[in-house]
Amino acid sequence: MSQSLAKKCNEVKERYDTCFLKWYSEKYLRGIGAVDNNECSALFKEYSSCLQVALKERGIDKLLEDAREDNKENDADLSP
Q: How far is it, in rounded angstroms, from Cα 58 to Cα 3?
A: 16
Residues that bind another protein (CB under 8 A): 1-5, 9, 13-14, 16-18, 20-22, 24-26, 28-29, 31, 35-37, 44, 47-48, 51, 55, 58-60, 62-64, 66-67, 69-70, 76, 78-80
CB of 22 to another protein, least distance (A): 7
Work out the end-to-end distance of the chain between its first and last CA atoms, rounded to an integer number of angstroms: 27
Q: Please give the backbone phi and psi of residue 3, each rounded to the nearest 5 degrees, phi first.
A: -65, 165
Q: How far is it, in rounded angstroms, from Cα 28 to Cα 78?
A: 20
